[in-house]
Amino acid sequence: MHVRPHWSYSSINQYLACPLRYYFQRILGLPQPTVGSGLVFGSAVHAALAHYHLALKLNRTPQRNAIHNAFVDAWNQRNGIGIAFKDGETRADLMTQGMALVELYLKEPPPERIVAVEQEIICPVHDSQGEYLETPLVAVADLIVDTDDGLLVREFKTSARAYGESEVASSLQPTCYVNAVQEVFGEPATVEYTVLIKTKTPKIQRLPASRTDEDLGRLGEIVKNVEKGVQAGIFYPVESAMNCSTCPYRGPCREWGRPKLPQEESPALVTLEVG
């Protein structure tokens, strides 16, 4: 548990995508009745790969049964929250698909010179002027390996389609990782997206992402302004098919902005909690 406010890629990205959802989840702490099947699927695949990578890091022989069990255990750990399946999806089909992606990855040459697996990194963020912000950044790297050119963060994604290069180029996530690794390890860092594509015939796609000092300063400027928005209570919906189709706060969202009765009071803003 973090004792002080902090930023993460997910919290920054959530505010940028829909400030009202950020408010419902991270300020009011409204319960989520369901979680999207894609998130459960991705978390289960991540757990299986983390088990595999950790065994390699400890110089142990990875056991397929244990890797599969890690997938199933992660799938079942939802604390009573239901899964919102898309039309045509079933639990059995998704679990079979997830196992197939894991098996495809296990057939590849195993990563070497592993430095860290699912490591949480707490680090400072600086703006474009080189001034460090008060609120730190927390990043959890799926896999960090040592290469001849510096440290490489491998970020694993599950997707129904291949990623475009522009998606990686414009994402803040690689920027957060490069910032975290360079601040804490003091070495140059790059990121590689490993996309496990859940098509009928599973595929693996790899996309490199490098970031400059200018990108890191830009990250700090974004964090500064998002924090100003949160502290000023600037929360509003960003309605789109992508945002709204799987949002667990559709009910409260429709209530937001309606005329209030005299006896109603708006919820008071609480201390910034940005993790």
Is the pLDDT at 268 greater than 70, yes or no?
no
DSSP single-letter state for residue 234:
-
Is the pLDDT at 272 greater than 70, yes or no?
no
Alpha-carbon distances of 131 from 204, 215, 216, 217, 231, rounded to whole Å? 39, 14, 12, 9, 20
**What is the pLDDT at residue 264?**
54
**What is the pLDDT at residue 43?**
96
* 83-97 per-residue burial string, b: 16 or more CB within 10 A, e: under 16: bbbeeeeeeeebbeb
**What is the pLDDT at residue 3?**
52
Nearest to 178 by CA among 155, 207, 205, 203: 155
Average pLDDT over the chain, rounded to an integer: 92
Which pLDDT band, with edges at 50, 70 and 90, does 54 fall under? very high
Which pLDDT band, with edges at 50, 70 and 90, does 261 fall under? low
Tens digit of each residue's pLDDT (9 = 90 or more) over 151-168: 999 999 999 999 999 999
Which pLDDT band, with edges at 50, 70 and 90, does 34 fall under? confident
Rounded mean pLDDT of 18-41? 93
Domain residue limits, the chain: 7-31+111-223
**What is the pLDDT at residue 81?**
83
Which pLDDT band, with edges at 50, 70 and 90, does 4 fall under? confident
Collapse the DSSP code of 57 into the 3-class scheme (helix H, G, I; strand E, B; otherwise coil) and give the result.
helix
Sequence-distant (≥ 6) Cβ neighbours of residue 54 within 8 angstroms:
117, 118
**What is the pLDDT at residue 232?**
97
Tens digit of each residue's pLDDT (9 = 90 or more) over 87-106: 888 999 999 999 999 999 99
CA distance 71 to 158: 14
Asked if 214 and 176 count as a contact pair (C-beta separation under 8 A), the reply is: no
**What is the pLDDT at residue 263?**
57
Report percent pLDDT > 70 for the chain: 92
Tens digit of each residue's pLDDT (9 = 90 or more) over 166-209: 999 999 999 999 999 999 999 999 999 999 999 989 999 999 99
